[in-house]
Chain A
């Protein structure tokens, strides 16, 4: 455990979070060349979550998104693109970096699908590199560059590229350029790194649509690491039209910050499950 973390324990998180936010805002306003954006956070749009995160996911930092299993990759990618949509500012681009191995194994982001889920596809720049180290290099450069509202980089399950040193370098680059870095790694094995937050994502049975069909996508977010606040778990839906996350109004959904039964024990009572 690094020493600054030990010092954090002395201040209750609910006091520390607003203070940190203030400091970040002052820094963003005063440091030279960082006047591009007054926003220092990417808000999820869910008050409970934003509160736990101290205002939202911070810019000038990297965030790690992990699917609970490879089967949940769709949900994890959806969360990453949802955040990128929220982070998007007018005329700023989103860079998506993938290397040959991950694209061959698990596919590429698909433009028509992105559009349907509310992402501004004209802002997407897709970079395809030969090796995992190249992803790191490109992400590092892109985070320093102030022209991107978000940088998403995808890594395979087992990679030595994402060790503490490399991620620390990425975090510094993000700090320098106020970049919003999202790392999408194909495994739930947690390795120590310098990400500000770490999310474990799994799919949740949707509420279905009143007209039949699949309805709004529903995912389970497990915030397992949060440098600036507490961890927590939420079930959220992604509303493509409004481009926002929402906690579904179903009574089965428990409020945030509470541990819920594992997904396989939920959803059994879902009436539509009887179709099979």
Chain B
């Protein structure tokens, strides 16, 4: 229902038939709860420009904890007016109120006349409001209405025990929440980051270079604050608030606690350049916020006195940048896995798991003379080849790989590898006999014959699975 409809005398909860009877020409849209919820999310997102602690009170409310934030916007009233005006510019009509408790603010915004009350005025301001202002369920309100209790003031001075006995303890709990006798928590939409720095821009920023420069300044600010507490960032997020209410978020992760402002700046530069689509600045971003999502204690000395950074630091920085540009899954350290199936014997590990690498480093070189021969390169998929063997179970005598015939000069094998039956889904469950062969020119291949001749298959297929030096 928009303002126009209200002027025509239509009301909330009015039967559609009545409304049509009054004004046959009205346009009717079915309610879309999901879209409403999305809009509320978006509004909550946008309102996080005022405070990091934003909670939603569905279906139609947003609760902000503005403790300690209001002075940044010129005081509580100025902040409230600013929010209303900006929301209005986005086409959203907002009823707002500021009070000492979430419950009182909720009540005032919906039923009250005043927009901002001090804590000592709370009781008298709430008195004339209907009981619905306490966020009670309709059946409680109806039950109370039957005994003549209609306003908040009606129950303020009554004995509590009979009220609780008759209408349930929720009534008193709600009352205490509203009056501040009990603390009502605001459930934040997003976890509140441990460090936040932001900049309000007088002139909305549209250029990427300028945005990045601002991020660099914010990073320097965060870096100082993290150093004071001996922490470093493992995950960072930039939030860009567009003038028209859209919010953009960009996150980066680091491989170890990071608090070097220049490095953080570089990470975001990489992140910006790897964006698939433009960030679409539209009319520009007027608030840029940099937040540390997760912080960890760290020992890294902050300032590099000697020019020419140390090795590991440099390396971690590069690995972070590679991870940001190509995705963290693409830069890996490979590690051994407990599996005898060749293609499952390697797993991916984070590139700088330092504990693992030092542990492995100590027992190098574990060159086992009887370690099974494994190729230097393994194909992602074994390539089928035509091969001829003298005896069904023996090594191949000649084979053809990528249209080139090879005569086998030496062969080692077979090494029989049975598949793991629980990996059956790919259909490769036949036993493999691996041979390491060298052709007349000295090229070495890792071949296998799939299927045991006789018991598993009558025509075993040969594959090349890898190359040796």
**Which residues of A come within 8 Å of B, CB atoms?**
32-36, 69-75, 77-79, 81-82, 91-93, 103-104, 106-118, 120-130, 134, 137-138, 141-142, 145-148, 202-206, 208, 213-214, 217-219, 238, 240-241, 263-264, 267, 270, 272-273, 275-276
Residues of A within 8 A of B263 (CB): none
CB <8 Å contact, B442 and A267: yes
Residues of A within 8 A of B468 (CB): 74, 78, 113, 217
CB <8 Å contact, B336 and A103: no
Majority-rule SS of A interface residues = mixed
CB <8 Å contact, B469 and A219: yes
Residues of B within 8 A of A108 (CB): 377-378, 380
CB <8 Å contact, B469 and A111: no
Q: Report how far A134 CA is from B270 CA in the complex, Å.
A: 13
Q: Report how far A74 CA is from B467 CA in the complex, Å.
A: 5
Residues of A within 8 A of B466 (CB): 107, 110, 113
Interface flag for B150 (CB, 8 Å): no
Contacts beyond the supplied A78-B376, A116-B367: 12 A-B pairs with Cβ under 8 Å: A33-B308, A74-B443, A74-B445, A106-B379, A110-B466, A128-B330, A128-B332, A134-B326, A204-B442, A264-B441, A267-B441, A275-B411
CB <8 Å contact, B326 and A113: no
Per-position contact with A for B367-379: 1 when CB-CB < 8 Å, else 0?
1000111111111
Nearest CB in chain A: distance from B97 CB, A: 52
CB <8 Å contact, B318 and A263: no
Residues of B within 8 A of A130 (CB): 326
CB <8 Å contact, B330 and A146: no
**Which residues of B come within 8 Å of A, CB atoms?**
307-309, 311-312, 314-319, 321-322, 325-326, 330-336, 342, 345-346, 351, 356-357, 360-361, 364-367, 371-380, 397-398, 401-402, 404, 406-412, 436, 438, 440-445, 466-469
CB <8 Å contact, B467 and A34: no
Q: Which of B372, B401, B443 contacts A203 (CB 8 A)?
A: B443
CB <8 Å contact, B364 and A33: no
CB <8 Å contact, A110 and B375: yes
CB <8 Å contact, B379 and A107: yes
Q: Report how far A118 CA is from B319 CA in the complex, Å.
A: 25
Closest to B332 in A: A126
CB <8 Å contact, A125 and B311: no
Most interface-central of A73, A74, A78 (chain B CB within 10 A): A74
CB <8 Å contact, A120 and B365: yes
Assuming A36-B311, A110-B374, A272-B409, is B438 touching A129 (CB within 8 A)?
Answer: no
CB <8 Å contact, A112 and B409: no
CB <8 Å contact, B367 and A241: yes
Assuming A120-B365, A125-B319, A275-B409, is B377 touching A74 (CB within 8 A)?
Answer: yes
Q: Report how far A264 CA is from B366 CA in the complex, Å.
A: 37
CB <8 Å contact, B410 and A213: yes
Majority-rule SS of B interface residues = mixed
CB <8 Å contact, B438 and A114: no
CB <8 Å contact, B364 and A32: no
Closest to A134 in B: B326
Assuming A71-B401, A147-B312, A267-B441, is B376 touching A109 (CB within 8 A)?
Answer: yes
Residues of B within 8 A of A106 (CB): 377, 379
Closest to A128 in B: B330
Assuming A108-B378, A273-B440, A276-B408, is B469 touching A74 (CB within 8 A)?
Answer: yes
Report, nearest first, the 3 A-B pairs whose CB atoms are least far apart.
A78-B469, A147-B315, A33-B308
Assuming A33-B308, A125-B333, A134-B326, is B315 touching A74 (CB within 8 A)?
Answer: no
Residues of A within 8 A of B317 (CB): 145
Nearest CB in chain A: distance from B250 CB, A: 20
Task: Please list 19 pairs of residues, one from A and one from B, whose beta carbons are closer than 8 Å in the complex, sorted by A's number.
Answer: A34-B308, A74-B376, A77-B467, A108-B377, A110-B346, A111-B335, A113-B376, A113-B378, A117-B376, A117-B469, A120-B365, A122-B364, A124-B334, A204-B442, A205-B440, A205-B442, A214-B412, A267-B441, A276-B408
Q: Report how far A205 CA is from B443 CA in the complex, Å.
A: 7
Closest to A70 in B: B402
Assuming A106-B379, A264-B441, is B326 touching A71 (CB within 8 A)?
Answer: no
Closest to B323 in A: A127
CB <8 Å contact, B443 and A72: yes
Residues of B within 8 A of A124 (CB): 333-334
Q: Report how far A81 CA is from B377 CA in the complex, Å.
A: 11
Most interface-central of B342, B345, B466, B468 (chain A CB within 10 A): B468
Q: Report how far A104 CA is from B444 CA in the complex, Å.
A: 20
Residues of B within 8 A of A73 (CB): 377, 467
Nearest CB in chain B: distance from A183 CB, A: 17
Q: Report how far A195 CA is from B218 CA in the complex, Å.
A: 42
Q: Report how far A263 CA is from B436 CA in the complex, Å.
A: 21
Assuming A74-B469, A218-B442, A263-B441, is B311 touching A147 (CB within 8 A)?
Answer: yes
CB <8 Å contact, A276 and B407: yes
CB <8 Å contact, A238 and B469: yes
Nearest CB in chain B: distance from A83 CB, A: 12
Nearest CB in chain A: distance from B413 CB, A: 10
Assuming A122-B360, A218-B442, is B378 touching A35 (CB within 8 A)?
Answer: no
Closest to A138 in B: B322
Residues of A within 8 A of B335 (CB): 111
CB <8 Å contact, B469 and A148: no
Q: Which of A75, A208, A263 contacts B469 (CB 8 A)?
A: A75
Closest to A121 in B: B334
CB <8 Å contact, A148 and B315: yes
CB <8 Å contact, A111 and B345: yes
Residues of A within 8 A of B406 (CB): 71
Q: Which of A107, A142, A213 contacts B378 (CB 8 A)?
A: A107
Closest to B369 in A: A241
Q: Report how far A150 CA is from B469 CA in the complex, Å.
A: 19
Assuming A32-B307, A122-B360, is B315 touching A93 (CB within 8 A)?
Answer: yes
Residues of A within 8 A of B336 (CB): 111-112, 121
Residues of B within 8 A of A217 (CB): 444, 468-469
Most interface-central of B361, B377, B407, B444 (chain A CB within 10 A): B377
Assuming A71-B401, A110-B378, A214-B412, is B441 touching A125 (CB within 8 A)?
Answer: no
Nearest CB in chain B: distance from A122 CB, A: 4
Assuming A122-B361, A202-B441, is B377 touching A77 (CB within 8 A)?
Answer: yes
